[in-house]
Amino acid sequence: LNFFQEQDRARRNTKWLVLLFVLAVIALVALTNMVVAAFLFFEGSNLYSRETFKWITLIIVGSICCAILFRWMELSRGGKVVAEELGGIPIQPNSPDPHERRCLNVVAEMALASGMPVPQVYVLHEQITLNAFAAGTSPADAVIGVTRGSIEQFDRNQLQGVIGHEFSHILNGDIDRKSTRLNS
């Protein structure tokens, strides 16, 4: 399969996941109402009515919607949220670390070559593994995260390959918008 077929497959899978989420919410509402109805029945109460069902449903759906809205607003601040949740720290242009400066130079070169704005670069100091990621909601607020192991162990050409790979995610619109996993 080529990239575009994979991208189409991923979009179809996303639609299925949304449908399964909606079904899970419906199941949660039904199950909660059944538990409350059973509890009231065994207590000998006849307080369970359509009004009780409506309130239980409203509370559950409202809670889920509030949680989704909160997370959506949090993540709409851009890729920096994901990078910071992973423990990333922005690399400053005046960093005394030569590895960090080299990484910033590579990112700036790739941005220039791709005609994109230069994304902010985060380093995950606690990660000695070889990995990187791109995150954000659009190219304008995308960030690139690089593990400490990557910027220290890769030579310039290898780092260019890794950073180029992350730029391809940004350019193709498959940046990691909502996840907090470190994998690319």
For 7, other C-beta atoms within 10 Å of its C-beta total 13
- The Cα 133–Cα 131 span in angstroms is 7
- Find all residues with CB under 8 Å of 107, minimum gap 6, and list them: 118, 119, 121, 144, 163
Which of 84, 100, 126, 166 is an active site residue?
Answer: 166
Cα-atom radius of gyration of the chain, to the nearest Å?
Answer: 23
Active site residue 6: no
Catalytic residues: 166
